[in-house]
Structure 1
Amino acid sequence: MILLIFYFISAKALITYDQGYYNGFSLPVSPGFICKDNFQQIENVPFREAFANIPQVILGLEFLSFDKGINYKLSITSTTTTYFEIQIECITSIQVFSVEFSWYAIDDQRIQVINNFNMNPPDVKVFDHINPNFESGIVSITSLGIQGDIDFQLSISSITRTAVSVSITKVANKIINLTQIGYQVILGIQEAFKDSNNYPLSSAYNSGTLKQYSNRWLFLSFTGFNMSSTLKQKVTRYLSPLSYQMNTFDVGFVNCNHQISWLAYQFTTIYKPFECQSVRLSQSNDAQASTKPPIQIYIQELNLTLDQSSNNITNQLTLNFQVYVKCQTQKKIVSQFLRCYECTTNKYHKLQNYCNQQIDGVTYFLKYYQQQQTFKKLSIQIASDSINIIQVLYNQVQIEQKILEISVQSI
């Protein structure tokens, strides 16, 4: 008898988002959590499955229990495709009893998470961001150092195409008591956030029945406190009907600023690159060729002439390029221009031009079009014998799509 044994290996799909709740920094859940006098604790929080790429991790505080005089630092110290590492450190002799949070992990470039953990002293700050199409954002407090009465609120004061500014209110004689603060800035495209609100609360809060949005998380966090006594506030979520409450226990309610937002973890917005609609070229014997740079590009809509590399952001739907390339004997100019991004074949217009004694310069007249009314990031790379234009696209993954390539090569 011949036995045939077949081995089946099941490949698990890689995930692009995940969420959970962490209560390991809390008494009595963790009996050894005596968070004072420079106590430190580091934990690994696993994802349900592996990500293809290292995700961004967002924290939303939902249970805090401590008094004035605390100084706890909370930070994500590392992230892999299978877990993230979280660390808490309590500096002073005043004990922190609970810091619990919901966490959200996402592998998508249409959202960016900027970590500003444990800032000392608290102040206004400006951060660079990657995506020129970020339109809105939220802030989420992660850590606090408090040596007396405090009264402050964090907010995003401006978002430009390249940077975001976070402001903090400074109430006289109280801001000095906020010795340290940590927070995250979560930025996104228009689709990223829905029904975002920041509520100033002075008593226990009941959300009432909420509308469930598909492919979105209900994100809750704090953005500020007006605190002169012990803080013991906890968010409790309910599935049926969908709602949540914020309550206190044993002590009075501490005035706070409470952030709510429906945060997308799957998107329908897909950014696409410019495509070349027409190509025309002129070959010439230019008497002034010796005075011109080897390669030069003029962008009509931007009224911009370049003979060196440059990065540009534009919201134009159409761009007309005029590219001059100096031609030398025994050389050829090889070029390709993206014509159909989603095509599997015939994606590019491709040309070859040979140089000789009658041709010492070639000028390309190119018309590119992209129908999305969005901001486009272009990296124009110019060398002595080549020019490339790369458009950076921020979708689920970042793509650097080459839309123009011209090079001078030996025959």
Structure 2
Amino acid sequence: MIFQFLLIQFTQGIITESSGEVTQFSYQVSGFNCQNGYTSTINFPDTFANIPKLILYPSLFDFASITSNQPIAKIEIVSLTLTNFQIKLTCPQQRINTYTLKWYAIDDQRLIVINEFNLNPLASKSFTFQNPNIKKAIVSIIGIGYKGSFEVTLSISDLTSTSVTVNYNSYNTNMVLLGYQVILGTDEIISYIDKISSSNVYTSPQYPVQSNSYFITAFSKFQQGLDNGIVTLRTTINQGASVVNYDISRWGSGLYPQNTIQSYWLKYTVNNPFLAMECFTVRVSKLFEMNSDQKPAFQLEFFEINKVVNTIGSESILINESITLLNIHIYYKCPSNNKKVHSQMNKCNNCSGSNKIYNLNHHCHGSINTINIYAKYNAQSNYKELTLTTTSNSITIVQKLTNKIITQETILFVEFLDV
């Protein structure tokens, strides 16, 4: 009873998402001095089961003018754990009055966050990742440093199933530091809302609220047209029960820093996960082949992709998202009569026990010397990541599923056994 109580208490303490604001980077905070780096520790309200993905967004800039010193705001994530994260602001020449950042932490493997907090050299850059079902990409300016008037624009110039390229564009050489994040997600987790370029303060349109989602904004362009370098800018999100919008405001002297903001929804509860391929029909053919001695001991064949495997080993393959029906052929040459083929195919993802799989047995005997299994699989319209493993007495196909967590599902297992 005591163990059960502790288990319930522990389970209730696990969180999957959280959000807040870093407010310690300000002259109004006692002891704030970022010349040699100032670190703030942000505690999550409870414990994540896995290290979350952390998204940042600068919601308030208050940068002093350029004298002989340069405004530089370099951001660094010092640590990220299950219970907190440490974030560091370094402003070597003390021209940062306040720098406030909103943060969003989500435990979901369909989300990828790439941190490039000190781009060097200042140029376009490509990054690789390991989720072929990534469809959305957002670049968000996080840290800047400059020695005069500047304009910097970042954009996603290329997104494939394995890489993303961020294009860098600036009209002069006054940028001395640039940091950004690239936020990648599947169609299920990220929804684009709007992109607004502005040369003055404004209030965005109202957008319908999306359930179980964070409304997030990201700077992709930032410009300061005066050599004095003063930057004051605030983004305020106004979220009601049914609509949400944001305001851009500034104060004091100087010009409005022209900018472009991409807004998007980040969903933290997804109800349509990626599912394993399901076998909906199996046909078995047992034959006596006169020329079986000229064939391999076994063979695995995928008709739709012209893939054949008949040697021992392991390899990973990627099935295109356009393929939603997959025909798999297993060939086995009986070496003697005292052998049988035991096969299992994933039949029903939402079932359990004997209803979940096809479980079949077929024996070799004198009148047949080959066993052929033809299995048809339904598949979702996404990329399918499969691992094929063949040994002298078995064939296994495992599908990798990237949802909130990554799982490995066996969709086919065939073994060659002694009777």
Structure 1 contact 317–373 (Cα < 8 Å) conserved? yes
Q: Please, which runs of 5 or more residues in structure 2 have no aligned partner? A: none
Taking the aligned partners of 1:362 and 1:390, their CA distance within structure 2 comes to 22
Taking the aligned partners of 1:46 and 1:135, their CA distance within structure 2 comes to 31
Pairwise CA distance, 1:377? 2.3
Pairwise CA distance, 1:355? 4.7
Number of the residue aligned with 2:79:
78
Q: 1:295 to 1:226 in 2, by over 3 A?
A: farther
Cα displacement string for residues 120-176 of structure 1 (whole angstroms, at most 9, x for unaligned residues): 1122222223333322221112222323332221111222222222212243xx1x3
Instruction: Please tell me the residue identity of whatever aligns with 2:214.
Output: W
The answer as to 2:374 corresponding to 1:374 is: no
1:249-398 equivalences in 2 (<5 Å): 249-251=251-253, 252-284=255-287, 286=289, 289=292, 292-307=295-310, 309-315=315-321, 316-329=323-336, 331-346=339-354, 347-355=356-364, 361-370=370-379, 372-398=380-406
The answer as to 2:194 corresponding to 1:197 is: yes
Q: Equivalent residue of 2:269, what SS?
A: coil
Instruction: Please tell me the residue identity of whatever aligns with 2:387.
Output: S
Taking the aligned partners of 2:353 and 2:3, their CA distance within structure 1 comes to 39
1:210-225 equivalences in 2 (<5 Å): 210-225=207-222
Structure 2 contact 72–95 (Cα < 8 Å) conserved? no
Structure 1 contact 199–258 (Cα < 8 Å) conserved? yes
Instruction: Please tell me the residue identity of whatever aligns with 1:249.
Output: W
Taking the aligned partners of 1:221 and 1:210, their CA distance within structure 2 comes to 16
Taking the aligned partners of 2:33 and 2:297, their CA distance within structure 1 comes to 68
- Provide the alpha-carbon RMSD of the alignment: 2.7
Taking the aligned partners of 1:399 and 1:247, their CA distance within structure 2 comes to 45
Q: Please, which runs of 5 or more residues in structure 1 have no aligned partner? A: none
The answer as to 2:409 corresponding to 1:401 is: yes
TM score, norm. by length of structure 2: 0.86
Cα displacement string for residues 86-134 of structure 1 (whole angstroms, at most 9, x for unaligned residues): 22233x3243222211111111233222222322112222222333332
Q: Equivalent residue of 1:336, what SS?
A: strand
Cα displacement string for residues 165-191 of structure 1 (whole angstroms, at most 9, x for unaligned residues): 2212243xx1x3333322111122223
Number of the residue aligned with 1:104:
104
Identity %: 31
Structure 2 contact 318–383 (Cα < 8 Å) conserved? no
TM score, norm. by length of structure 1: 0.87
Cα displacement string for residues 199-219 of structure 1 (whole angstroms, at most 9, x for unaligned residues): 222111222544333212110
Q: 1:185 to 1:25 in 2, by over 3 A?
A: same
